[in-house]
Structure 1
Amino acid sequence: MKENYQLYLFVLPALVLVIIFKYVPMYGALIAFKDFNPLQGIMGSPWIGVKNFEKFMSTPDFMNLLGNTLKLSAFGLLFGFPVPVILALMLHRIRSVVLKKNIQLILYAPNFISVVVVVGIVFIMLSPVGPINHIINLFGGKSIDFMTEPGFFRSIYIISDIWQFAGWASVVYLAALANVSQDLIDAAKMDGANIFKQIIHIDLPTIKPIMVIQFILAAGNIMSIGFEKAYLLQTSMNIPSSEILPTYVFKIGLQMGDYGYSTAIGLFNSVINVILLLTVNKIVKRLNEGEGL
């Protein structure tokens, strides 16, 4: 530490921020085990153990909330994870620098649009008199009120998420593909490998370690769905499929003021995330060991 004290000083501000904003707030998790009263404070409120958790698991909405959260996250991971990889592989194969930069600009732009604006665009596009319904009407179909149909909520959420973030998520894969040796590609071409074989045997192995890390992180956050978009896309008619744990915590905690109960739900959500993270990490590690990596 004495020899590298400059490096430790360089990391110190980030470490202090993590401690203040990540570790210190963990003290508040005690609220989940108390009948919390803001006037009595955390330590002054009576201890009730796991009653808040029992209350949540016994509520009629428990399975619906858990199911909606898992389905939205799992489908989002299933359909959303491969898209940045595919985009990166396609962009990497574009030889025209100008064309490549223009396409990247188009793909990256949605990432910098506010979630509120994105949801506004979604409501306009999918309204009964919007462009999508106009196209449906042109082909002889009837207008559909997408935002009031529970069955459309997950598709709308996932597709809008892919449109907004897939382009930007492909950056990390493009950076890895930039390290692919041109000599290796030339050798593959001489051996008769077409573009698909080059992708399978050269490009994909190059980005595989990053794909594994990204997948582990995504799976570990499978219960941590973005609250803002789900809440903004929510209507009184699509509640059966749009009500998820983060929106439920917001309503119980901030709107109804039941802080202990909402904290218990949030803590339950975090524990599930940790279990999923450790499980996926262990599975991936065993698969890699089986492949001799």
Structure 2
Amino acid sequence: MSVKPTVQRATRELPQRRARPAINVKSLHRLSSSWQLYVLLLPALLYLILFQYVPMYGVTIAFKDFSPMKGIFGSEWTGLTNFRTFFTSYVFDSVLVNTVKLSFFSLLIGFPIPILFALLLNQIRHQLAKRFIQTVTYAPYFISTVVLVSMLNVFLAPTTGFINHMIEGIGGSAVNFMARAEWFRTVYISSTIWQTMGFSAIIYLASLSGVNPELHEVATVDGASKLQRIWHIDLPSIAPTIIIMFILGIGNIMSVGWEKAFLMQQGMNLSASEIISTYVYKVGLLNAQYSLATAIGLFNSVINFTLLIAANYCAKKLSGYSLW
């Protein structure tokens, strides 16, 4: 006897459910009350759309025989020809291996150093000394790439560089570091760490500032050493930040900055210094092979995107922290 009234009541409520507004009134009120924040966000959003998303239509050049006279849409469609040209070229193996090695070792060596530096700097209680060390290590980040490579050429010069003077002072022989292929990755990675260590440590220092000091006080009362407090309090507290930064690092593993590698290139170290980004620059801008350069760049971006998705998935499964 109770089934029929229930069905009738559900039937009467059905039009009302369909007539509900798609946007919640509370959401509209929240948006209207915070409109100033969205106005501040608008310039960055417009910049992202205009310079990141709008130019993405140019990716179609990778599948065409692009001619500046015909334009993007007027150029002849060639399909995967440009990709086949790159995959079958004599430089494919070397530039891919050089890029992977340089990126992998940069991430392997360069990623934990800012974390260790932030943990050690956080233990300094003298504020003046702490600020001085942070400023000294932060300043090299603002040195331009051209100036940095010029400094490397001066410091590592085989006859006048002070590094070789030190080597000769202890009985060794001078080494032309900038021209030797076996030294290219060492010089590149070590100089990058020196330049970016202080700046990269800022985000970890910000995370460490949010650690509850009472945890350290309790651990000190219990007799924990500084190393034990770093391992059991500081590291677990910044673990989410470390995981997020590691995911981003994996997603950019193939995106080695071409400016520094290109400026460090010489004829004698080309076997180790020629990477995908420098090859794209030479093919696209110097040789005017725009379609081939776009195809190589798209191939590089697809690898980065795939690694980002895989790293995010693994991090979410193993630790519970992820980008999304």
| TM exceeding 0.5 | yes
Corresponding residue for residue 169 of structure 1 = 200
CA distance in 1, matches of 2:251, 2:139: 27
Corresponding residue for residue 264 of structure 1 = 295
Corresponding residue for residue 233 of structure 1 = 264
SS state at 2:138 partner: helix
Corresponding residue for residue 182 of structure 2 = 151
List per-residue Cα deviations over 1:132-184 (Å, max 9, x = no partner): 11111111111111111100000100000000001111011111111112211
List per-residue Cα deviations over 1:246-286 (Å, max 9, x = no partner): 00000000000000000000000000000010111111111
In our comparison, the structure showing a higher alpha carbon Rg is 2
Q: Does 2:99 match 1:69?
A: yes
Corresponding residue for residue 28 of structure 2 = 2
Corresponding residue for residue 133 of structure 1 = 164
Alignment of 1:92-131 (within 5 A): 92-129=122-159, 130-131=161-162
Corresponding residue for residue 13 of structure 1 = 43
CA distance in 1, matches of 2:310, 2:90: 28
CA apart distance, 1:191: 1.1
CA distance in 2, matches of 1:172, 1:91: 13
Moved over 4 A (4+): none
Corresponding residue for residue 223 of structure 1 = 254
The match for 1:24 among 27, 49, 54 is: 54
Corresponding residue for residue 66 of structure 2 = 36
Corresponding residue for residue 6 of structure 2 = none
Corresponding residue for residue 242 of structure 2 = 211
Unmatched 5+ stretches in structure 1 = none
AA in 1 matched with 2:97: G
Superposition TM-score, scaled by structure 1 size:
0.97
Corresponding residue for residue 23 of structure 2 = none
Cα root mean square deviation, aligned: 1.1
Corresponding residue for residue 22 of structure 2 = none
Q: What is the aligned-residue identity percentage? A: 49
Aligned length: 290
The match for 1:275 among 306, 309, 312 is: 306
Superposition TM-score, scaled by structure 2 size:
0.88
